[in-house]
Amino acid sequence: MRNVLLAVDGSRPSEEAAKFLARLPHFDPVELTLVSVVHRRFVHASYSTNELVEKAYEQDCLTTQASLQRIAGIFDGANVHVKTELIEGAVGESIVQKAKDIKADLVVVGATGHSQISRMLLGSTSDFVATHAPCSVLVVRSQMLPQKSAPLKVCLGYEGTGPCQAALEELMESPWRGQTELNVVLVANCLNEMYADSKCVQYYKDELSHAKEQLEEVSDHVTTHFLEDVHYGEGITRFVESHDINLVVLGETPRSQFSRFLLGSTSQYVLRHVPCSVWITRNRMIEGLKRSETTSAVQRQ
């Protein structure tokens, strides 16, 4: 997490997203780009109307610049170098393109919605960015953020697969000691009596132990949880709700070329159902895919 893009729009959710980002620990200095997107309205009307529209646009720019400076102040005194930028265009597409341009490691956006229905719908911007960003994405929900004096409760969905291990390794790039509780959750779906005494249960528990050993290098509070549920996403959601989790971390696999991504069924389900913030990790999987495609290209030559 060295090169971060934070998209803000002057709303309370985006300001809460900035405060949450400021709380996340990091080893190295962070290059933070604060971005706001403004629209230039086009109308087919008289010159006087167009002049009013242009003045409204200029006022929007001034208001947005002031908002960017206010958000930048949240990071005063932190080991963060902040740049602000005002860009014009469609919001979701502009954020994704900016992430590509600056080669961001992480894109942070605020999500709207407090009820179960609105959580499932998300916001058009956060949904688009989570689906299309060419890097890891953190979608912040303000209603489940911890108080300053309370510990940060993090849940890592883990199966021992490539994307889950990549998510764990991305999590290890930050120091989580102090007031942070890391929970590693493995959900075994379709685990019935036929498998209850088999080696697969021990395999799951061994994977959890291995994950805990790795995370203890960066955290002094790691707890593992082995759950059984018919649906992986539902199991994670129920755990989050019953343990008051603030942040869920999930590994995501690129579904096509590394320049474009689609959310998998699990990450999409969790993102739209949990009441807390969600961090979808992609960077290590993307790098692996890039190396694979490069190797294949060389072999074809």
Indicate the domain borders of the chain. 1-145, 147-301
pLDDT of residue 170: 93
pLDDT of residue 21: 94
Residue-wise pLDDT for 22-35, tens only, equals 999 988 899 999 99
CATH homologous superfamily for the domain 147-301: HUPs (3.40.50.620)
Give the best-scoring range by mean pLDDT among 163-167, 192-196, 220-224.
220-224
Q: Could you tell me where the DSSP H helices lie in the chain?
A: 12-23, 47-72, 91-102, 116-121, 124-132, 162-171, 193-196, 199-215, 232-242, 265-273, 283-300
**Is the per-residue pLDDT at 118 higher than 50?**
no
pLDDT of residue 80: 93
Q: Mean per-residue pLDDT for 71-99?
A: 92
Residue 298: band (very low, low, confident or very high) from pLDDT cuts 50, 70, 90: very low
pLDDT of residue 147: 85
Q: Mean per-residue pLDDT for 184-212?
A: 80
**Identical fold, 1-145 and 147-301:** yes
User: Please, are residues 176 and 183 in contact by the beta-carbon 8 Å criterion?
Assistant: no
pLDDT of residue 285: 78
Residue 297: band (very low, low, confident or very high) from pLDDT cuts 50, 70, 90: very low
Q: Mean per-residue pLDDT for 202-229?
A: 93
**Is the per-residue pLDDT at 259 higher than 50?**
no
Task: Note the Cα 237 to chain centre separation in Å.
Answer: 16
| Cβ neighbours for 219, distance < 8 A, ≥ 6 positions apart | 176, 177, 180, 182
The third-level CATH classification (topology) of the domain covering 1-145 is: Rossmann fold (3.40.50)
pLDDT of residue 254: 58
**Is the per-residue pLDDT at 197 higher than 70?**
no
Average pLDDT, the chain: 82
**Torsional sign, CA 140, 145, 149, 151:** negative
**Is the per-residue pLDDT at 19 higher than 70?**
yes
232: β partners: none
Residue with tokens 């509780």: 181
Among the ranges given (57-61, 89-93, 154-158), the one the predictor scored with the smallest mean pLDDT: 57-61
User: Please, are residues 157 and 187 in contact by the beta-carbon 8 Å criterion?
Assistant: yes
Q: Mean per-residue pLDDT for 293-300?
A: 42
Residue 47: band (very low, low, confident or very high) from pLDDT cuts 50, 70, 90: low
